[in-house]
Structure 1
Amino acid sequence: MNLSAQLHETAKALPQKTAYFFNDEASTYAELDGAITKFASGLEALGVKKGDHIALLLGNSPYFVVSLYGALRLGATVIPVNPIYTPDEIGYIIKNGDVKTVVALDLLLPLAEKMHHLLPEVENYIICDTPQGKERGLNNSNLSVGDKLHTFTSILASGDLSYQGPELNEDDVAVILYTSGTTGKPKGAMLTHKNLYSNAKDTGDYLKMNEDDRIITTLPMFHVFCLTVALNAPLLSGATILIDPKFSPAEIFRLSKKYEPTVFAGVPTMYNFLYQYEAGDPKDLQSLRLCISGGASMPVSLLENFERKFNVLISEGYGLSEASPVTCFNPLDRPRKAGSIGQSIVHVENKVVNELGEEVPIGQVGELIVSGPNVMKGYYKMPEETQAAIRNGWLYTGDLARKDEEGYFYIVDRKKDLILVGGYNVYPREVEEVLYSHPDIIEVAVLGVPDPEQGEMVKSYVVTKNSELTEEDVLDYCRERLAKYKIPSSVDFLEELPKNTTGKILRRALKQQIIQA
């Protein structure tokens, strides 16, 4: 079984069930499946074949859902791309990923016009209309892209509802996800049909998703967290997704009041914004049975404050692109442990090991490694990097973790973010947890910077809601709660911290600022 085939089965079993709401308009599973079939057929008519690579430069919308599942039904490999990447970033992924067809918003027409001479291997550009594009007068005429240009609407119109599609193998590559490239160029994690289907199925089962659920899908669909947890898992479960083009606290509360969602998935920054949103009425979120947090470690103080204010459980989990992504979640039928990423989900095994790959004793810190049907096939065109990441069937995550006696895992920090102060290990997250517990601090980032005497020193960046808070106030707070070598050497106050499109705070951007300074 694969994602597209399962959606087809769901459409046959629940044809009139609402698959999604978008801009307050509903679409049934039958309508969605029909659009997927016609899009797959239309792609084939363009000359797209099984195994061809298709890039999606799309935001959260039905365009993304239909394009993704339509391409999968055809047997093509999908490469989701953040549409607000720079031309160089987009160009690298398209070229490195051997993309032949690009599906993009009309807002990107000027980019396609500018780049198509540099990307001769791209055979088709499929353009999706948006209200903003129409306002700006963007259209498909008089562009030198020429006969490579098609509209999403025309592809659908040319599609055949009786289209069956080729036979798919579970080990065929379904999606290539390019990692954010914290070291060197981004790497393309190859995820098979089996990887994606098994992880969506196991995640949905673990979180008890069913056809009565309504999931707010506000995380970016091109990101693996949303792709599995807020898109694939709900659709496999026959649930309804509430597609939100762009996260804002006001829109989340509006959607909640109107549609009474049962599940919300977000990164810690989103929960922070919702918690701080003064106009938000806790009653509007009372329909939620579950909130899911991932993408970054959630400060315990934020988790507890949010749960107390909105009276809803937050289940924190863990994943990475190379694992499709979910490996752990806090269970719903056993005690949740604040600060933990929970236990291994079904069919997935997590271990904490030392430098030799040997499992360390309970409570000790080591590298988290993962095994299961969700682990990627490898990095696209990067055999050496694949060999370094997957050893003896285990994926080495690069995250430092520990496990307790009940099998709950705790992420200590990224291996590469470990700070060495005079020979002592300092984990940024430990310092961040203390700073987050300060009542006047909203956001925090901690990192190591070079120091001639100690090797490294701890530097902190904070966003505060109290303009009178001083560096000395913050340092005094830390002195009461941290060992001397863990106390930040300095505190910089910022209006906001750099974040990626999912809302994850980017320590590496702060490090880059230090280097450039």
Structure 2
Amino acid sequence: MNLVSRLQQIATQKPDKQAYMFEQTSATYGELNGAIMKFASGLAKLGVNKGDHVALLLGNSPYFIVSLYGAMRAGATVIPINPIYTADEIHYILTNGDVKVVIALDVVIPTLMKLDGRLPNVEHIIICETPQGKEHGIFVPEKMKSFTNVLATGDVPFFGPELHDDDVAVILYTSGTTGKPKGAMLTHKNLYSNAQDVADYLKINEDDRVIATLPMFHVFCLTVALNAPLMNGGTVLILPKFSPGEVFKVAREQKATVFAGVPTMYNFLYQYPDGKAEDFAHMRLCISGGASMPVALLKNFEKKFQVIISEGYGLSEASPVTCFNPLDRPRKPGSIGTSIMNVENKIVNELGEEVPVGEVGELIVRGPNVMKGYYKMPEETAHTIRDGWLYTGDLAKMDEEGYFYIVDRKKDMIIVGGYNVYPREVEEVLYSHPDVVEAAVIGVPDPNFGEAVKCYVVSKNQQLTEQQLIAYCSEHLAKYKVPSSIEFLEELPKNTTGKILRRALKEQVISQSGAM
């Protein structure tokens, strides 16, 4: 079984069940499966063969679902790319990923035009029309093809080549902390097993209506808010982008039952003045991932909206989910929960030996969800996957009941005078202050202690001072963990999923010190 065959199965069993809703349109499973077949057939007529690479430069829309499943049905390997990337960023992935066909929004055409002549391997560019593109009158060169026309050329039924568990279905380029992005190769087995295991673990079923506002090109949304509900016959409520007002509106009007987001999204929803518990009246579960959620935010959100947040953990290389707080046992705030079914998590020391309960070490993962490897990077693959275990680079600990706690990224740990300081611990204290909206902690060079703790804070109280906040931290943290400096910002740098980018803050410090 794989994503494509499972969706076909659902469409056969429940052809009239609503598969998705997007703005003023919707489609049943029968209609969606028909569109996927037609598009897959259209791709095959363009010369797309099994194993060819197809890139998606698409936002959240039916285009993404039909393109993803259609390309996989045609036997292709799909490479989702953030459509707001620069021309150089897109060029690297298209070139490194040996892409043959690009499916892109019309608003991306100006960016692609900058690459004219620099993509010799790209044979076709299929353009998806948007209201924004029509509004600006974007010219489509003759060599580019219309999504609508490719779809129209397709035949139904079309089943495509046989797909094997070990065939690479998707390559996700991970940003990483240094160097060029690495392409994590996820097989059909990887993606299907994780989607099905997540759906079963969180009890996502045909009655669920799941809000998909996280970017679909990101693995969190791809598995948890798109593939998982589709595997069990649920309905995906597609939002083109995150907006607190739109989330509350769709949740209320469409009786949404599941919401998936990153901590920053929950913060914006919590701060939104017009958000009410009644808007989430049908919500049975909220899911958080992508970054650690401050405990204070989790408790405040749950109290205000009367809904449970299940925090989990994942990474692109694991398709992505490895842990979630279980629904049938007590949830532990601050924990990423327990291992989901069929996946093992373990904490080890530098020698790869399992450490005692409560001790901090590196989190490693094993299961059917672990990637095949990095595309064209055998050395990186060998370093990351050892004896079947995926080394995550995250520091964590496990309690006596098997609940895991992320302490921090291995590379983000700050060493002050020989003592380890985990940024998350300091951020938790900052978030507990009533005037702090957002916080990020990094290590900066210090002539006396090697490193010092520096904080960046967004506050809703313009009168809050650095001294007051440092004093507050002193009440809750050991002396060596107390920030040496706090800088107030209007907003913190974030990626497209809303995850706060400590790396960007570190780069800013480096550039400033270099300028001096």
The residue aligned with 1:25 is 25
Task: Find the aligned partners of 2:232 and 2:433 in 1 and give their Cα distance.
Answer: 41
**Equivalent-residue separation in structure 2 for 1:463 and 1:265 (angstroms):** 24
Match of 1:139 in 2: 139
Q: In the aligned structure 1, how far is the partner of 2:110 from the partner of 2:88?
A: 14
Task: Quote the residue 2:280 is aligned against.
Answer: 285
Counterpart of 2:447? 452
What residue number does 1:327 align with?
322
The residue number in structure 1 matching 2:180 is 185
Root mean square deviation of aligned Cα: 0.6
Q: Does 1:250 align with 2:245?
A: yes
Aligned pair 1:470/2:462, yes or no? no
Partner in structure 2 of residue 239 of structure 1? 234
Alignment of 1:78-477 (within 5 A): 78-140=78-140, 143=141, 146-147=142-143, 149-477=144-472
Does the 8 A contact of 1:299 with 1:339 survive in 2?
yes
Aligned equivalents of 2:401, 2:481: Cα separation in 1: 29
Matches of 1:181 and 1:324, distance apart in 2: 16
CA distance in 2, matches of 1:186, 1:226: 20
Give the aligned partner of residue 488 of structure 1. Answer: 483
In structure 1, the residue matched to 2:14 is 14
Q: Point out where structure 1 has 5 or more consecutive residues left out of the alignment.
A: none
- Contact between 1:116 and 1:122, CA under 8 Å: does it hold in 2? no
SS in 2 for 1:219: coil
**CA shift for structure 1 position 20:** 0.5
Preserved contact between residue 295 and residue 318 of structure 1 (Cα < 8 Å): yes
Shift of 1:497: 0.1
Q: CA deviation at 1:17?
A: 0.5
Residues 319-342 of structure 1: CA distance to partner in whole angstroms, max 9, x if unpaired? Answer: 000000000000000000000000
What's the CA shift for 1:182? 1.4
C-alpha deviation, 1:138, in angstroms: 1.1
Report the equivalent of 2:70: 70
Shift of 1:351: 0.2
- With normalisation by structure 2, the TM-score equals 0.99
Match of 2:59 in 1: 59
TM-superposed CA distance for 1:193, in Å, is 0.1
1:381-421 deviation line (CA, Å, top 9, x unaligned): 00000000000000000000000000000000000000000
* CA deviations over 1:127-164 (Å, ceiling 9, x no partner): 00000000000132xx3xx43x1100001100001212
Q: Which consecutive residues of structure 2, in runs of 5 or more, have no partner in the other structure?
A: none
1:508 paired with 2:477, answer no
Structure 1 CA distance, aligned partners of 2:160 and 2:23? 31
1:110 shift after superposition: 1.6
Structure 1 Cα separation of the partners of residues 368 and 158 of structure 2: 30
Structure 1: distance between partners of 2:297 and 2:112: 42
Shift, 1:44, TM fit = 0.3
Distance across 2 between alignment mates of 1:482 and 1:250: 37
- Tell me the secondary structure at the aligned position of residue 473 of structure 1: helix
AA at the equivalent of 2:33: D
1:282–1:310 Cα contact (<8 Å) kept: yes
- Per-residue deviation, residues 332-362 of structure 1 (Å, max 9, x unmatched): 0000000000000000000000000000000
For these two proteins, the number of residue pairs brought into alignment is: 512
For residue 497 of structure 1, the aligned residue among 477, 492, 495 is 492
Q: 1:116 Cα deviation (Å)?
A: 2.6
Aligned-residue offset at 1:281: 1.8
- Structure 1 residue matching 2:500: 3-state secondary structure: coil
3-state SS of paired residue (1:153) = helix
CA distance in 2, matches of 1:107, 1:502: 20
Identity %: 72
Q: C-alpha distance in 2, partners of 1:335/1:114? A: 53
